[in-house]
Amino acid sequence: MTKADLVKIISENTGIIRKDVAVVVDSFLYAIKDSMAKGNHIEIRGFGTFKLKTRKPRVGRNPKTDQKVAVPARTVPTFKFSREFKNAVINVKAK
């Protein structure tokens, strides 16, 4: 599913024109990115949690030369689905 598909579905379900729905969806996604860029985490009850995790520094390997390479610590965005979301998906898949 693409963002355009999501906008279309929301527009059909609510009766709001696609242009307005697209603005809301874009604003929602921007708010998530902006908040995470500031170091915050976002919890949407019944859906999931967006968090930032810090990966430890490690020693990697260049597959071409087999040379060891130091990989520095870095912060990466993660998403964890809520239990309700997981159960809903499992129940739909099982039918």
pLDDT in tens, 44-72: 999 999 999 999 999 999 999 999 999 99
Answer yes or no: is pLDDT of 33 > 60: yes
In the chain, domain spans: 1-39, 41-95
Interior/surface letters 14-51, b for 16+ CB within 10 angstroms, e for the rest: eeeeeeebbeebeeeeeebeeebeeeeeeeeeeebebe
For residue 67, the SS3 value is coil
pLDDT band at residue 84 using 50, 70 and 90 as cut-offs: very high
pLDDT band per the 50, 70, 90 thresholds, residue 91? confident
Q: What is the mean pLDDT of residues 1-29?
A: 96
Q: What 8-state DSSP symbol labels residue 41?
A: -
Give Cβ neighbours of residue 19 (< 8 Å, ≥ 6 apart).
none
The predicted pLDDT at position 93 comes to 60
Which is nearest to 83 in space by CA: 32, 43, 31, 25? 43
Domain 41-95 has CATH 3.10.290.10: no
